[in-house]
Chains A and B, each alone.
Chain A
Amino acid sequence: MAITTDPHDQGRVVEAVTGHHETREQRHFKERIAVWLFIGGDAIFLLMELFYWFYLRALNTDGMWRGAACSKANPCTDGLGNPITQEIAKANPWYTVSIAVLVVIAAALVWGVERSAQRQLKRSVISGSAAIGLVVLIAAIVVQCYQFGVLPFTTIDGAYASTFQFFMGSTLAHLLLLGFIVAGLWTRARRGRYDDGLWYQVRIIRIFSVWLAVSTCVLAIVMIAFS
């Protein structure tokens, strides 16, 4: 049985009694590999999302990726005068851009928390950065939820509409996960868990948040540039 509590987390020097504890470096090494493996899995998920997007877009089953554009040559009716699927409007790109920017800012703030903890700055500085990061993430979550309400299409409006909203849902799920983690970062920073040079755990969170910023940006680019 490996005892995973870090004796340093207890704020006391107890290693002499608890020889079972792993050192901080050992824990960090394990956690860093683990987070990279999880990111690897998440990267596969991202690739699958891109596969969905580009495959459905290229296949364009019955012209229903975004529907047919109406014009004089294509009056949105078939030869019998029945309506055919009309081209749906694209989503407003500014929401998507805003979310990506907010996630990048949140990742930068988490990076700032790591640097602050590394330099053993005051507890208020560390927790303050984490708090601002959390607020930014909450803002991103709110914008993402709001975007669902203002989309010019619904889920049943073809493959573009479906995939676009799937990406939004995926981003929201990731933001909620990161929000939970950054909330923990803030709480723990307030309680002094990262004082005394205990910045390793923050690095793990930073690695994940940077990955999330990258993946959110990739999705945003695809959603805007390849509609």
Chain B
Amino acid sequence: MTTDLARPLLLEDTPLGPTAGGFYRRQNAYTGLATGVLFAFVGWLISHALLQGSNWGTDMVVTVTMVGWVVGFNLGVGTFNAPLRWMLGHDQTYEDELYAAGVGQGKKRYYKFCTDHKVVGTQYLVLVVILFFIGGTLAMMMRTQLITPHTDFLSANSYNAIVSIHGMCMIIATIIMVTGPFTNFVMPIMIGAKDMAFPRLNAMSFWVVVSAIPPLLATFVLGGVDAGWTTYAPLSVQAPPAMDAFSITMIVFVISVTVSGVNTIVTVLTMRAKGMTLGRLPIFVWASIVGAALSIYAMPALLIAFTSMITDRVVGTSFFVAGQGGTGWLWENAFWIFGHPEVYIILIPPVGAMLEVASTFARKPLFGYKVTIAGFVAISALSIMVWAHHMFTTGWAPELAGPFMVTTEIISIPTGIIFLCLIGTLWKGRIWTRLPMYFVYLFLWNFIIGGVTGIYLSDTPADEFFHGDMFVTAHFHYTLLGGAMIAATAALCYWFPKITGKMLNERIGKTAFWMIAIGIQITYFGMFWEGFEGMPRRVAFYDPIFQHANDMATGGAYLLMLGWIVLLYAGIESLRHGPNAPANPWHSKTLEWKVPTPVPLVNFLVDPVVTSDPYGYGEPEPVGPVVIPAPHPDRELVPNLSSDNPLAKDDG
């Protein structure tokens, strides 16, 4: 083996034996697809033969088929390899681990069950873009239907089905839009770790969520979910078989998010570099663990909600059927016990990421670091006590409307404090206005509108008026799209050079920014207008008096979608023709910018030792987290895997 002395030998250069990886060698996304289809077909065949004639035959067949798909896909892609080998007492060898981490596989590793956190992060990024594309396309179909009061583009049922899948597709995408790509790719490097705590669980969380997407899309050919994204019972109990596939999607998604959340918390608690105390963690890391903790609390509620929904539909239980002793209120409670924390599971990680952007480009330490962390924790704690504000008009426990109104309004206090910390960070800073900062400014504007309109909705009397109309739709789009998605876009523009190794084309990016910024205002002000006039949500046809407001919203939506497409084009163009990114193009202080680009497999060529907080801007160098070489040369060198090395042999 020749050695290039000018460059340290990296782990990824390790030559692996022909048996390294074991079964992983034969597995990838395509084998997953094949086994998934095979298992789904076998499931369909058996269940159709045995169950079709029973009371809930079609629902049973759909459920078994979808479960077959999920199990088959994950078997085929390699998700269950390690647990099965563990159970049989055959641990994976060191070489297997290297293979699973993508050593020697080039770009093929992006199509495989790969344990390298950077590969998983990139896979998540692509998945999120695809989900947003699907959700965005569905949104445009809805807006096209609403061009005139009685457009024949979609039937009422199709429109309702599109509303539901647009909603849940976007919820899934926004939950993973930051925790998937950035918490996976960037966060371990930020804390000085070589990977996530459980790399195989990390890869599992990704491939499991991939297996959840086909059932979601299959709903369109199974009659459509016409119960809205909240799938309120008893409407959802009576919905077509698509509801079974929808429920399977949600159950599988819960597994993915829970596993991912546990992994994130354990990583931060146990894998930090020397000197990376909790008080020195970058704010994005705090946001990630708070979001992860909240997901561990909230996801079980969603799990039981959809599990019991499936049993109601497939075996005839009566949780949500009032005629058999159940109640629709049970669904609403279970759903919203998940549903409101979910808003903050979506919101907190992007806000944390955006605060990193603000500090870097304002060249100032983060204003109110500890207060911001306290704000995240307070929001999380309060978010589990506000769920019934979604049920003010349902008639459930009217005596609790007051307390829930108060807790909901109180939550605006820590939210406002974090907002002030963002402004404080920018205040009197020497702001370097690059593309990520554009999106920070846009977040400030949007989130003010989303937040203030939310206070109206938390107020019981006002909610009685606004509930179920387009005002609510405009509010949560300002919050989730204008707030969370825009913050995530700032994070994407910020970390794009580190993830891809290319600088993002800012000229095209700024064009996209202005289209998105203006598009959001036109679209959602249009929806506010519709709401003030009293137009209800989820209607395919409307009274002509709402025509002008709908014209405005639809026009804005087209501009908005075009803006996202231009931004996507900016990314693709930069990947193909953009200049290579230096290791630290923004002169940032956090650790992810101290490693080379592209990032080596083990992240750090030497063990980092952190000596100060991550926001020491304006102080003379060296400051911030500095990397001091530690004497561990074998960390990045090729381990001796010759035939006389015991590690070269599989003892399994």
Q: Which residues of A contact B (CB under 8 A)?
A: 1-5, 9-12, 14, 17-20, 26, 29-30, 33-34, 37-38, 40-42, 44-45, 48-49, 51-52, 55-56, 59-62, 64-65, 154-156, 158-163, 165-166, 169, 180-181, 183-184, 187-188, 190-191, 193
Contacts and interface: CB of A to CB of B under 8 A. Distances in A.
B643 interface: no
A12 B196 CA distance: 26
B647 interface: yes
A83 B326 CA distance: 20
B97 A62 contact: no
A187 B87 CA distance: 7
Given A41-B299, A166-B311, A34 B318 contact: no
Interface string B75-96: 0000000010011110111101
B315 interface: yes
Contact of A37 (B87, B194, B200, B265): B265
B195 A2 contact: yes
Nearest to B601: A1
Contacts of A190: 89
A62 B325 contact: yes
Nearest to B96: A5
B116 interface: yes
A184 B319 contact: no
A40 B296 contact: yes
B304 A49 contact: yes
A45 B646 contact: no
Contacts of A184: 86-89
B3 interface: no
B301 interface: yes
A12 B101 contact: no
Given A4-B97, A55-B333, A48 B304 contact: yes
10 contacts: A1-B603, A19-B632, A34-B262, A45-B303, A48-B337, A52-B334, A60-B325, A61-B325, A159-B318, A162-B318
B317 interface: yes
B645 A155 contact: no
Interface in B294-339: 296-297, 299-301, 303-304, 307-308, 311-312, 315-319, 322-327, 329-330, 333-334, 337
Interface in B115-157: 115-117
Interface of B: 11, 83, 86-89, 91-94, 96-98, 101, 115-117, 193-200, 258, 261-263, 265-266, 269-271, 296-297, 299-301, 303-304, 307-308, 311-312, 315-319, 322-327, 329-330, 333-334, 337, 601-603, 632, 634-635, 639-640, 645-647, 651
What 5 A-B pairs are tightest by C-beta distance, nearest first?
A64-B325, A162-B317, A159-B325, A184-B87, A45-B300
Contact of B315 (A41, A155, A159): A155
B316 A155 contact: yes
Contact of A1 (B115, B197, B297, B327): B115
A158 B651 CA distance: 55
A61 B266 contact: no
Given A4-B198, A51-B334, 15 more contacts: A10-B646, A18-B647, A20-B11, A33-B270, A34-B197, A34-B198, A34-B266, A37-B265, A45-B303, A52-B308, A61-B327, A62-B322, A64-B325, A158-B318, A180-B83
A158 to B, nearest CB: 4
B270 A26 contact: yes
Nearest to A57: B325
A62 B323 CA distance: 8
Contacts of B269: 33
Contacts of A42: 300
Contacts of B323: 62
A219 to B, nearest CB: 13
Contact of A61 (B89, B311, B322): B322
Determine which residue in A14, A20, A181, A183 has the highest number of CB atoms from chain B within 10 A of its CB, and name it.
Answer: A20
Contacts of A38: 258, 262
A62 B316 CA distance: 18
User: Chain B: interface secondary structure?
Assistant: helix
B316 A37 contact: no
Contact of B635 (A19, A49, A65, A163): A19
B19 to A, nearest CB: 15
B272 to A, nearest CB: 12
B319 A188 contact: no
Contacts of A156: 316-318, 324
A61 B270 contact: no
Contacts of B647: 10, 14, 17-18
A17 B98 CA distance: 14
Contacts of A166: 307-308, 311, 317, 319
A37 B601 CA distance: 28
B247 to A, nearest CB: 14
Given A62-B322, A184-B87, A52 B304 contact: yes
A30 B194 CA distance: 14
Nearest to B101: A1
Contacts of A162: 311-312, 317-319, 324-326
A95 B10 CA distance: 59
B324 A64 contact: yes
Nearest to B303: A45
A4 B115 CA distance: 11
Given A45-B303, A48-B300, A61 B326 contact: yes
A190 to B, nearest CB: 7
Contacts of A11: 651
A49 B93 CA distance: 41
Contacts of A3: 94, 97-98
Nearest to B261: A37
Given A61-B327, A159-B319, A187 B88 contact: yes
A183 B318 CA distance: 35
A6 B594 CA distance: 29
Given A1-B116, A41-B299, A48-B301, A159 B326 contact: yes
Contact of A10 (B194, B261, B317, B651): B651
Contacts of B296: 37, 40-41, 44
A5 B91 contact: yes
Nearest to B301: A48
Contacts of B308: 52, 166
B311 A14 contact: no
A166 B83 CA distance: 27
Nearest to B302: A48
A41 B96 CA distance: 31
B89 A44 contact: no
B270 A59 contact: no
A158 B326 CA distance: 7
B603 to A, nearest CB: 8
A5 B92 contact: yes
A192 to B, nearest CB: 9
A45 to B, nearest CB: 4
B94 A5 contact: yes
A64 B296 CA distance: 34
Contacts of B117: 1
A53 to B, nearest CB: 11
Contacts of A163: 319
B73 to A, nearest CB: 20
A74 B211 CA distance: 53
